[in-house]
Protein backbone atom coordinates (compact mmCIF):
# COMPACT_ATOMS: atom_id res chain seq x y z
CA UNK A 1 0.00 0.00 0.00
CA UNK A 2 1.12 3.56 -0.67
CA UNK A 3 2.15 6.04 2.03
CA UNK A 4 -0.69 8.43 2.95
CA UNK A 5 0.61 11.81 4.15
CA UNK A 6 -2.65 12.49 6.04
CA UNK A 7 -1.68 10.11 8.85
CA UNK A 8 -1.51 11.59 12.38
CA UNK A 9 2.29 11.35 12.73
CA UNK A 10 2.83 13.16 9.41
CA UNK A 11 0.57 15.91 10.79
CA UNK A 12 2.65 16.05 14.00
CA UNK A 13 5.85 16.20 11.90
CA UNK A 14 4.40 19.11 9.92
CA UNK A 15 3.41 20.87 13.16
CA UNK A 16 -0.29 20.71 12.25
CA UNK A 17 -1.23 19.00 15.51
CA UNK A 18 0.52 19.22 18.89
CA UNK A 19 2.57 16.57 20.65
CA UNK A 20 4.54 16.25 23.89
CA UNK A 21 7.88 16.52 22.14
CA UNK A 22 11.01 15.14 23.80
CA UNK A 23 13.64 15.42 21.07
CA UNK A 24 14.07 16.46 17.45
CA UNK A 25 16.93 16.46 14.95
CA UNK A 26 17.16 16.60 11.14
CA UNK A 27 16.11 12.96 10.78
CA UNK A 28 13.66 12.18 13.57
CA UNK A 29 11.32 13.32 16.29
CA UNK A 30 10.55 11.72 19.66
CA UNK A 31 7.27 12.39 21.49
CA UNK A 32 5.12 10.77 24.14
CA UNK A 33 2.47 8.24 23.14
CA UNK A 34 -0.94 9.71 24.11
CA UNK A 35 -2.22 6.25 25.06
CA UNK A 36 0.80 4.90 26.94
CA UNK A 37 1.07 1.18 27.63
CA UNK A 38 3.25 2.07 30.62
CA UNK A 39 4.21 5.47 32.11
CA UNK A 40 6.88 7.08 29.91
CA UNK A 41 5.91 5.25 26.69
CA UNK A 42 7.59 7.24 23.89
CA UNK A 43 7.55 7.05 20.09
CA UNK A 44 10.60 7.48 17.86
CA UNK A 45 9.49 8.69 14.44
CA UNK A 46 11.78 9.17 11.43
CA UNK A 47 10.95 12.26 9.36
CA UNK A 48 11.33 10.35 6.09
CA UNK A 49 8.01 9.09 4.74
CA UNK A 50 7.36 5.36 4.86
CA UNK A 51 4.34 3.35 6.02
CA UNK A 52 6.44 1.12 8.23
CA UNK A 53 9.62 -0.98 8.36
CA UNK A 54 8.67 -2.94 5.24
CA UNK A 55 8.96 0.01 2.83
CA UNK A 56 11.57 2.04 4.75
CA UNK A 57 14.87 3.02 3.17
CA UNK A 58 17.66 1.08 4.96
CA UNK A 59 19.60 4.34 5.38
CA UNK A 60 16.69 5.66 7.48
CA UNK A 61 16.77 2.53 9.64
CA UNK A 62 20.52 2.78 10.19
CA UNK A 63 20.05 6.30 11.60
CA UNK A 64 16.95 5.58 13.67
CA UNK A 65 18.09 2.49 15.60
CA UNK A 66 20.88 4.31 17.49
CA UNK A 67 18.27 6.92 18.51
CA UNK A 68 15.89 4.16 19.66
CA UNK A 69 18.75 2.81 21.80
CA UNK A 70 19.48 6.27 23.24
CA UNK A 71 15.83 6.86 24.16
CA UNK A 72 15.53 3.35 25.65
CA UNK A 73 18.55 3.92 27.91
CA UNK A 74 17.23 7.36 28.93
CA UNK A 75 13.70 6.00 29.55
CA UNK A 76 14.98 3.18 31.79
CA UNK A 77 16.75 5.77 33.92
CA UNK A 78 14.07 8.51 33.79
CA UNK A 79 11.25 6.19 34.84
CA UNK A 80 13.30 3.91 37.14
CA UNK A 81 12.27 0.94 35.02
CA UNK A 82 13.51 -2.64 35.40
CA UNK A 83 13.54 -3.14 31.64
CA UNK A 84 12.40 -1.63 28.34
CA UNK A 85 10.30 -3.12 25.55
CA UNK A 86 10.85 -1.93 21.98
CA UNK A 87 7.85 -2.51 19.70
CA UNK A 88 7.33 -1.86 16.02
CA UNK A 89 4.23 -3.00 14.11
CA UNK A 90 3.74 -3.46 10.38
CA UNK A 91 0.36 -3.20 8.64
CA UNK A 92 -3.03 -3.71 10.25
CA UNK A 93 -2.59 -7.47 10.56
CA UNK A 94 0.71 -6.80 12.32
CA UNK A 95 -0.97 -4.54 14.90
CA UNK A 96 -0.13 -1.18 13.29
CA UNK A 97 -2.66 1.62 13.74
CA UNK A 98 -0.74 4.70 12.50
CA UNK A 99 0.82 4.26 9.08
CA UNK A 100 4.06 6.22 9.36
CA UNK A 101 7.10 4.26 10.56
CA UNK A 102 7.69 4.49 14.31
CA UNK A 103 9.28 2.57 17.16
CA UNK A 104 7.74 2.29 20.63
CA UNK A 105 9.99 2.59 23.71
CA UNK A 106 8.06 1.25 26.69
CA UNK A 107 9.46 1.22 30.25
CA UNK A 108 8.78 -2.12 31.98
CA UNK A 109 8.55 -3.19 35.62
CA UNK A 110 9.12 -6.63 37.06
CA UNK A 111 5.85 -8.53 37.40
CA UNK A 112 3.75 -5.82 35.69
CA UNK A 113 1.93 -6.47 32.44
CA UNK A 114 1.29 -3.76 29.86
CA UNK A 115 -1.85 -1.65 29.46
CA UNK A 116 -3.60 -2.62 26.19
CA UNK A 117 -2.14 -1.06 23.03
CA UNK A 118 -3.67 2.26 21.84
CA UNK A 119 -6.72 2.09 24.15
CA UNK A 120 -6.51 4.48 27.13
CA UNK A 121 -5.86 8.24 26.79
CA UNK A 122 -3.44 9.74 29.37
CA UNK A 123 -3.87 13.20 30.98
CA UNK A 124 -2.01 16.02 29.25
CA UNK A 125 -0.32 17.05 32.51
CA UNK A 126 1.05 13.53 33.04
CA UNK A 127 2.30 13.37 29.44
CA UNK A 128 3.94 16.79 29.78
CA UNK A 129 5.66 15.80 33.04
CA UNK A 130 6.91 12.53 31.54
CA UNK A 131 8.19 14.34 28.43
CA UNK A 132 10.23 16.63 30.72
CA UNK A 133 11.63 13.66 32.66
CA UNK A 134 12.68 11.89 29.47
CA UNK A 135 14.11 15.11 28.00
CA UNK A 136 16.22 15.61 31.13
CA UNK A 137 17.55 12.03 31.04
CA UNK A 138 18.36 12.34 27.31
CA UNK A 139 20.25 15.57 27.84
CA UNK A 140 22.54 13.74 30.30
CA UNK A 141 23.39 10.97 27.80
P1 LIG B 1 0.96 1.55 16.16
O2 LIG B 1 -0.22 0.71 16.53
O3 LIG B 1 0.75 2.17 14.80
O4 LIG B 1 2.27 0.85 16.30
O5 LIG B 1 1.04 2.69 17.25
C6 LIG B 1 0.48 3.93 17.14
C7 LIG B 1 0.61 4.57 18.49
O8 LIG B 1 0.30 5.93 18.34
C9 LIG B 1 -0.34 4.01 19.55
O10 LIG B 1 0.41 3.52 20.63
C11 LIG B 1 -1.22 5.18 19.93
O12 LIG B 1 -1.48 5.23 21.30
C13 LIG B 1 -0.41 6.37 19.47
N14 LIG B 1 -1.19 7.51 19.01
C15 LIG B 1 -2.34 7.51 18.28
N16 LIG B 1 -2.73 8.77 18.00
C17 LIG B 1 -1.81 9.58 18.57
C18 LIG B 1 -1.67 11.01 18.62
O19 LIG B 1 -2.48 11.78 18.12
N20 LIG B 1 -0.59 11.49 19.28
C21 LIG B 1 0.34 10.69 19.88
N22 LIG B 1 1.36 11.27 20.51
N23 LIG B 1 0.24 9.33 19.85
C24 LIG B 1 -0.82 8.79 19.20
Give mean pLDDT, residues 88-110. Answer: 97
Task: Give domain status of residue 38, yes or no.
Answer: yes
Q: Which of 11, 46, 118 to mutate to test the pocket of ligand 1 (most atoms within 8 A of CB)?
A: 118
What would the 3-class secondary structure string for the chain be? CCCCCCCHHHHHHCCCCCCCEEEECCCEEEEECCCCCCCCCEEEEECCCCCCHHHCCHHHHHHHHHHHHHHHHHHHHHCCCCEEEEECCCCHHHCCCCCCCCEEEEEECCCCCCCCCCCCCCCHHHHHHHHHHHHHHHHCC
Q: Is 60 a member of any domain? A: yes
Give the mean model confidence (pLDDT) for residues 106-135. 94
Concerning whether 20 is annotated as a catalytic residue, the answer is no
Assess whether the C-beta atom of 99 lies below 6 angstroms from ligand 1. no
Q: Is residue 2 part of a domain?
A: no
Burial 6-18 (b: 16+ CB within 10 A, else e): ebebbebbeeeee
Minimum-distance ligand 1 atom for the alpha carbon of 37:
10
- Quote the domain boundaries for residue 98: 8-140
pLDDT at position 63, please? 97
Residue 117 has a pLDDT of: 80
Residue nearest to atom 18 of ligand 1 (CA): 34
The model's confidence at residue 26, banded by pLDDT at 50, 70 and 90, is very high
CATH of the domain at 71: 3.30.428.10
- Determine if ligand 1 sits within 6 Å of the CB of residue 86: no
Is 101 contained in some domain? yes
Q: Is the pLDDT of residue 1 over 90?
A: no
- Mean pLDDT over the full length of the chain: 96
Q: What is the pLDDT of residue 141?
A: 80
Ligand 1 neighbourhood includes 118 CB (under 6 angstroms)? yes
User: Given 100, 102, 104, 117, which residue is catalytic?
Assistant: 102
| Tens-digit pLDDT profile for residues 73-84 | 999 999 999 999
Provide the domain count of the chain: 1
* Structure confidence by residue, pLDDT tens digits, 39-82: 999 999 999 999 999 999 999 999 999 999 999 999 999 999 99
> Looking at the predicted structure, is the pLDDT value of residue 118 above 80?
no
Amino acid sequence: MAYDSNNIFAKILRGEIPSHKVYEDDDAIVFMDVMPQSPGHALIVPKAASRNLLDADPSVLSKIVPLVQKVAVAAKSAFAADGVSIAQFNEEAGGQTVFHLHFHVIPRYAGQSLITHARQMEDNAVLAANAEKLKAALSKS
